[in-house]
Amino acid sequence: MSARASSVGRVVATERRPNTAHEFHFWTSLDSPIGIGTIVRVDGDTPIAGQLPRVFGVVVEGFSYTDLQAAIDDVRGHDGLPQSAEAAPTHRAEIRLYTAHVLRQIPEEPLQPVPMGRVTLASDEDVAVALRMDAYLQPGNRTGIPIGIYKAGAMEAPIYLDADFLLGPEAAHLNITGVSGLATKTSAVEWLLASIFAHFPEQKGSVAAICFNVKGPDLLFLDQAGQLDDADRAMYAKLEVPARPFDRVHYFAPYTAKGFTLNTLRTNEALEDNVSPLTWGLNEVMQFAEVLLNKDDVDAKADAFIDFLQERVIGREFSDPMLSTTHRVRSFGELEAFFRDLLRGVEDRSSGEYWRTHHVATIRKVRNRLSNISTRCAGLVTDEGTVSDLPFGSFQDRTVYVVDVASLEEDAQDLIFARVVSKLREHLERRDLGVSHVVVFVDELNKYAPGDGQDTYVRKMLLDISERGRYLGLVLFSAQQFRSQVHRRVVGNSGTALYGRMDMDELATPGYMLLSPATKTKLATLEKGQLMVRHPHFAQPIFVRFPRPAVMRGRDGAERFPAAPEVSLEAAVMRALRSLDPGISLDWVKRTIAGHEESVVLRARTLTMQTRPERVQAFFEAQFRRIVPAAVPAAERPVSVPIKALPDDDPYGF
Amino acid sequence: MSSTVTVNEGFDVVRRRLAALLTPGVPVVSEPQPLEVASRGVQDPPTMRAAEVIEAPMRARPIQDIRETGFAAFLDGAQWSLPAAWVGSVPVVHGTVAAVIRERRERRLVTWRSPMVERALYVPVPLVSAEARAAIDATGLRLVDTLDARKAESTHPFALQELAYRAVLAARERLEQSLGAQWCEQSDATLFVDGGISGSAAMARAKCVVGVVKSHQTLHANDSDVAVIMALRPRERSSVVRIAATKRTAVASWYLRLRDSTGQDPLWGLVRVEIALAPALDVAQLAARADRISSWILAETLPLSAPDSRWDNMVYGIRDCEEFLRATRA
């Protein structure tokens, strides 16, 4: 003990302000390095059960006062002139009194009020003991994931999260709160993913991450190096995380409504090699029709008919006396053909208003709603059923999969989120995803899992992940600006919580009631790169610093790799195919697709991209062989245009 | 002379031990009142004492507002006298005396060396029985015979208490003088002493000591000069006088008005300053020194020593000494 750091304070207790087993007070010199969030150690003088007590605490409140009993005395002393105070030869006696919350007591039993004793700054080893990190930093059984560095005075101690409590199975999930634009949420998650990839214990298996990019170019340059300064690099070195961008990143984005350019800001030609389209057909979508169909207009009757379609019609051969032919519905196009045939049959045969107990109005309504899906989610959902999906079943270890939904309509975002998470869950349950753990990062949780409003499919899924995901290795990293507005069970099930700079209004909500006013003030003024961390092993929240992520910021990436301008169909096809065969020219593409419909060309392109054949040109050309190109119309005599067009339904018009 | 304070010399411990020895089986229940605050605490009667005016004529002399101070430290003492037991009508008084110098460093006050603390039992020894004396000795605390220095005017219990009080007061003065002498041995920097310095020959002759008296039970002035002193306005001092009393060393002294006493009694905001009287008297030099020291004292009126009720004539450094001694009394 005597060899330990010199005292920075003394524990003090009065009858009015006694110490307890969870809180104690101490004073320091005026120039001590103690501040809110500092971790301190108290050494008692009286042995408990033969052991001198050691108590670790984190400072949560500070007080300063002088020997004045009334402020007016000071005014009177200086004749009401503040400047005369500068002439006083002596400063008043002044105290720095701090309140700390207990992190850990040794011995832990019997649990007693904190004894009087000397206070020192906690050393690296003390911090590990205080935060119970010693339990999971044992050589040979190490499950520590660095989250940042705790700084106090000249001391810097690495802070680790326990992988068993961050990624399951003991606890799991992480939630991060903070105001926008202060390098907190996205940066922290990018840094933490790098840390997880570097430190995830081998014995726990493999890990990958799926990030939903919901804002601009935020997560679109994770494979590009960002700017780091010496302090950042020093932190990376201390925390033993490579200061480089992610090695393996795959991007997925649906097409725009036109269908031949990807709906993402990562369309720069230099970065196209790891960007894949995300398109789904009828089969993929019908499972999640519930996500897209409005509960208000899909009633029980419509629901029953949709179930009938899913079970009896879609994906199998279906015939019925009412139908003119046998239907095999595999795409939205074929579904539409089925509906046309069915409704024509029902109307022609005058067989009443019902078909197989389903009212014709219900059939019309379901047709309307389902047909509408491919319109509302154009670019993601294709009429012809072309599928380009995430590599479920062949996920790779330490790989980030980014799904860019930033430019999509809300419905399409919901559909993507619901389906991707469901598929992850299915595969993890079957243990055939390719990795044993997946981190799913969802920003703007306020929107996807709000605390109020009607229950949505997406919210139910998020609740399901947060409550049961840890057993499967499906881990939710979520972020939002206002934690108070997120469903309580989603944030409540997050074993680890990070807080960046917070809004005072948010801090005034009941969820932050247990934080001291000083801690709230610190949260409201946190610098960039600082976080407050709550973790199951930490008895109290801890403030840490983390380095800037080693990846390019979205804004910088968008400037350095500007998105390609909207291109023609020919150019879009050429660019897509060039990623497989750099020898492909625009002229060749023009010749090949001349006279073919746009949808046919796009289907050929998608098939080629999915198949990735060795002979790209031959494969692409082969997609058109079975199709007779539309005849090029002969030059016609110019048609004279009437001055005033006739209405379409004019019975006298010819 | 000073001793390290140990727990077993504390009042409560000694009191319980004495009770066990003198009146076994009788529980100690009442909380005695310190003699310093009890009405039985004694005060000298108001007195006028003539003084030789060195810096004649006696008049008010304005002090320049230079807002600088030359004081490096402050010395004050404290005492606590509590009846710990009664042997019949004879009080056994537990006395604690302490003195401290608070040195100014970077405009903050810190303790110079260690504070001096002494504890003893004050008893009129000839008036107690041999058994009682043995019990008092058994406490292990130093015994001071209050009849050594004075004779009892009567054996009235309160008169005997007053003897004890005065003995404790004398012990405190000795402690203060001892600490002041230590300062003067090691430093030439000026020490602000609470109270007069003429009681100690060493301090009364030291150039580095300035005594500042707050109480005016005794006014050192000729009858004709009282009006001048009472009429002093803020930042004015009186002419320097020579104070010489029996058994005390002669010192130079003057009155200084620290604050405006309009609407208050005439002694409000008034202090009397004592400094050493140089063997070769040079009135001009003495007057210049009185001016300089007066300006230093005026500078020390900030910050206000509130909430102390004597804030009108107590400087903050002395309040700090008192607070220090009060806080470390245990």
For A297-306, the pLDDT digits (tens) are 678 888 889 8
**Which of A68, A69, A84 minimises the CB distance to B302?**
A84
Q: Nearest-CA residue of chain B relative to A84?
A: B302
Nearest to B306 among A73, A89, A90 (CB): A73
Question: Given the DSSP bridges, would you call strands A530-534 and A496-499 parallel, antiparallel or unpaired?
Answer: antiparallel
Q: What DSSP designation does A309 have?
A: I
| Interchain proximity B303–A93, CB inside 8 Å | no
Q: Which of A372-386, A430-444, A634-648, B305-319 has the lowest mean pLDDT?
A: A634-648
What single DSSP character describes residue A83? G
Q: Which residues of chain B have a CB within 8 Å of the CB of A90?
A: 104, 107-109, 300, 302-303, 316-317, 320
Chain A closest CA to B51's CA: distance in Å?
33
- pLDDT, one tens digit per residue, over A260-288 is 788 999 988 888 889 998 988 888 888 78
Q: Does B13 touch chain A (CB under 8 A)?
A: no
**A348 Cβ contact partners less than 8 Å away, ≥ 6 residues apart:** none
Asked if the Cβ–Cβ distance from B320 to A84 is below 8 Å, we say: no
Instruction: Say yes or no to pLDDT of A144 above 80.
Output: yes
Question: What is the band of A606 on the pLDDT scale with cuts at 50, 70, 90?
Answer: confident
Q: What is the pLDDT of residues A398-455, one digit of tens each?
A: 999 999 999 898 888 888 998 999 999 999 999 999 999 999 999 988 888 998 888 8
Q: Per the CB < 8 Å rule, is B304 touching A74?
A: yes
The tokens for A183 are 């390098």
| Region B181-199 average pLDDT | 94
Report the sign of the C-alpha dihedral through residues A60, A65, A69, A70, in that order: negative
Residues of B with CB below 8 A from A89's CB?
Answer: 69, 71, 104, 107, 299-300, 302
Distance from CA of A18 to the nearest CA of B (A): 18
The pLDDT of residue A285: 85
Interface contact A90-B317, CB threshold 8 A: yes
Which range (A333-342, B38-47, B102-111, B321-330) has the least confidence? B38-47
For CATH 3.40.50.300, the residue range(s) in chain A are 155-278+388-557
**Of the candidate ranges A99-103, B8-12, B322-326, the one whose mean pLDDT is the lowest:** B8-12
For residue A593, is pLDDT > 80?
yes
Distance from CA of A64 to the nearest CA of B (A): 16
Q: How confident is the model at residue A607 (pLDDT cuts 50, 70, 90)?
A: confident
- DSSP letter for A170, please: S
Looking at the partner chain, which of A73, A89, A90 has a beta carbon nearest the beta carbon of B307? A73
* 3-state helix vs strand vs coil in chain B, percent to 5: 30, 25, 45
A125-129, A134-138, A321-325, B103-107, range with the lowest pLDDT: A321-325
State the pLDDT at residue A295: 65
Quick one: closest CA in B to A87, which residue?
B67
Measure CB to CB from residue A77 to each of B104, B303, B317 and give the nearest one: B303
Alpha-carbon distance A527 to nearest alpha carbon in chain B (angstroms):
33
Interface size, chain A vs chain B, as Cβ–Cβ contacts under 8 Å:
60
pLDDT tens column, A192-238 = 999 999 999 999 999 999 999 998 899 999 999 999 999 999 999 99
What is the pLDDT, as a whole number, of residue B7? 40
Helix orientation angle between A360-376 and A300-308, rounded to the nearest 10 degrees: 70
Estimate to the nearest angstrom the gap between the alpha carbon of A591 and the chain centroid.
Answer: 44
**Are the beta carbons of B306 and A68 separated by less than 8 Å?**
yes
Q: Residue for token digits 């000026």?
A: B190
Distance CA A146, CA A158 (A): 7
| DSSP calls for A584-645 | --HHHHHHHHTT--HHHHHHHHHHHHHH--SSHHHHHHHTTTTSPPPPPPPP-PPPPPPSSP
Could you read off the pLDDT of B65-95 as tens digits, one per residue?
888 999 999 999 999 999 999 998 999 999 9
pLDDT at B191: 97
A165: tokens are 């409590």
pLDDT value at residue A575: 83
Task: Give burial (CB, 10 Å; 0-12/13-18/19+) of B45.
Answer: exposed
The structure tokens listed for B146 are 């209050």
User: Mutating which of B68, B106, B304, B308 best tests the A interface, going by the most A Cβ atoms within 10 A?
Assistant: B304
pLDDT band at A289 (very low <50, low <70, confident <90, very high): confident
- Distance (Å, whole) CA B148 – CA A596: 129
pLDDT-based confidence at residue B231 (cuts at 50, 70, 90): very high
Residue-level length of chain B: 330
The pLDDT confidence band at residue A649, using thresholds 50, 70 and 90, is low
Pairwise CA distance, residues A158 & A137, whole Å:
11
Backbone dihedral region for residue A291 (phi beyond 0: left; psi -120 to 50: alpha; all else: beta): alpha
Q: In this complex, do B107 and A89 lie within 8 Å of one another by their Cβ atoms?
A: yes
3-class state of residue B276 by DSSP: strand
Instruction: Tell me what the mean pLDDT of segment A22-30 comes to.
Output: 96
What's the pLDDT at A37? Answer: 94
User: Are B316 and A87 within 8 A, CB to CB?
Assistant: no
pLDDT of residue B193: 97
Q: Residues A197, A427: contact at Cβ < 8 Å?
A: no
CB B97 within 8 A of CB B168: yes
Q: What angle do CA A639, A641, A646 make, to 5 degrees?
A: 125
The residue-averaged pLDDT of B240-258 equals: 92
Mean pLDDT of A369-385: 82
Question: Do residues A92 and B320 touch, judged by C-beta distance below 8 A?
Answer: no
Q: What is the pLDDT of residues A611-637, one digit of tens each?
A: 888 899 999 988 887 655 544 444 444
Question: B106 to chain A, minimum CA–CA distance in Å?
Answer: 8
Average pLDDT over residues B288-309: 93
Q: For the segment B52-69, what is each residue's pLDDT rounded down to a tens digit?
A: 999 989 999 999 988 899
| Strand bridging mode B270-276 / B241-243 | unpaired
Mutate to test the interface with A, among B316, B323, B324 (most CBs of A within 10 A): B316
Facing B323 at nearest CB: one of A67, A69, A76:
A67
Is residue A107 helix, strand or coil? coil
Residues of A engaging B, defined by a Cβ cutoff of 8 Å: 30, 67-70, 73-74, 76-78, 84-85, 87-93
| Residue tagged 């309307």 (tokens) | A368
Residues forming beta bridges with residue B86, ordered by sequence position: B91
pLDDT at B42: 58
> Is any Cβ of chain A less than 8 angstroms from the Cβ of B226?
no
- Place A321 in a pLDDT band, splitting at 50, 70 and 90: confident
pLDDT at A421: 92
Q: What is the pLDDT of residue A1?
A: 42
A476 close to A469: Cβ distance less than 8 angstroms? yes
Crossing angle, helix A360-376 and helix A332-348, to 10 degrees?
160
Residues of A in Cβ contact (< 8 Å) with B67:
87
By Cβ distance, the residue of B107, B306, B317 closest to A77 is B306
Residues in chain B with CB shorter than 8 Å from the CB of A92 are: 303, 316
Rounded mean pLDDT, A335-346: 90
In this structure, what DSSP letter does residue A388 have? B
Identify the weakest region by mean pLDDT among B37-46, B185-194, B281-290. B37-46
| Interface pTM, i.e. ipTM | 0.81
B317 shares contact with chain A (CB less than 8 Å) = yes
Give CA–CA dist A554/A215, Å, rounded: 9
Q: If you measure CA to CA, which chain B residue comes closest to A90?
A: B107
Asked if residue B315 has pLDDT above 70, the reply is yes
Residues A650 and A617: beta-carbon distance below 8 Å: no
Residue A653 pLDDT grade (very low, low, confident, very high; cuts 50, 70, 90): very low
Q: Measured between beta carbons, which residues in chain B are less than 8 angstroms from residue A70?
A: 306-307
Q: What's residue A2's pLDDT?
A: 42
B-chain residues within 8 Å CB-CB of A93?
109, 320, 323
Strands A94-106 and A23-28: antiparallel
When scoring A29, A76, A90, A116 by the number of chain B Cβ atoms within 10 A, the one with the most, hence best to mutate, is A90
The Cα of B296 is separated from the nearest Cα of chain A by a number of Å equal to: 10
The predicted-structure confidence for A179-189, as pLDDT tens digits, reads as follows: 887 758 999 99
If you average pLDDT over residues A157-169, what whole number do you get?
95
Separation of alpha carbons A234 and A319, rounded Å: 70
Residue A4 reports pLDDT greater than 90:
no
Mean pLDDT of chain B: 89
Instruction: Write down the pLDDT at residue B4.
Output: 40
Mean predicted lDDT score pLDDT of chain A: 88
Q: How much is the pLDDT for A253?
A: 95
- Cβ distance B304 to A69 less than 8 Å, yes or no, reads no
φ, ψ of residue A148 to 5 degrees: the values are: 165, -165
Count other C-beta atoms under 10 Å from residue A582's C-beta. 8
Determine the Cα–Cα distance for residues A35 and A58; give it in Å rounded to an integer. 9
Amino acid at A609: M
Contact criterion met (CB < 8 Å) for A90 and B306: no
Specify the pLDDT at position A569. 86
Report whether pLDDT(A642) > 80. Answer: no
Ramachandran angles phi, psi of A340, nearest 5° = -60, -50
Query: Looking at the domain A155-278+388-557, which fold is it?
Result: Rossmann fold (3.40.50)
B61 and chain A in contact, CB less than 8 A: no
Of B71, B304, B317, the CB nearest to A77: B304
Element (H, E) at B211: strand B209-213
Q: How far is CA A40 from CA A33, A100, A523, in A?
A: 11, 8, 20
Among partner residues A73, A87, A92, which is closest to B67 by beta-carbon distance? A87
| Bigger pLDDT: B33 vs A113 | A113
Distance from CA of B222 to the nearest CA of A (A): 33
Summarize chain A as % helix, strand, coil (round to 5).
Answer: 35, 20, 45
**For B73, nearest residue in chain A (alpha carbons):** A90
Instruction: Select the residue of A67, A78, A89 nearest B300 (Cβ to Cβ).
Output: A89
CA separation, residue A113 to residues A50, A102, A105, A108, A109 (Å): 17, 10, 10, 11, 11
Contact A280, A412 (CB under 8 A): no
Q: Determine the Cα–Cα distance for residues B319 and B330; give it in Å rounded to an integer.
A: 18
Residue A18's pLDDT band, with cuts at 50, 70 and 90, is: very high
A67 and B67: CB-CB below 8 Å? Answer: no
The answer to whether the Cβ–Cβ distance between A68 and B307 falls below 8 Å is: yes
Residues B195, A486: Cα–Cα separation, whole Å = 70
- Tell me the two tokens of residue A489: 């069970």
Helix (H) or strand (E) holding B48: strand B47-49
What is the pLDDT, as a whole number, of residue A376? 82
Residue A564 CB neighbour total at 10 angstroms:
19
Contacts of B66 in chain A (CB under 8 A): none
Question: Looking at residue B19, what is its pLDDT?
Answer: 86
Radius of gyration of chain A (CA): 32
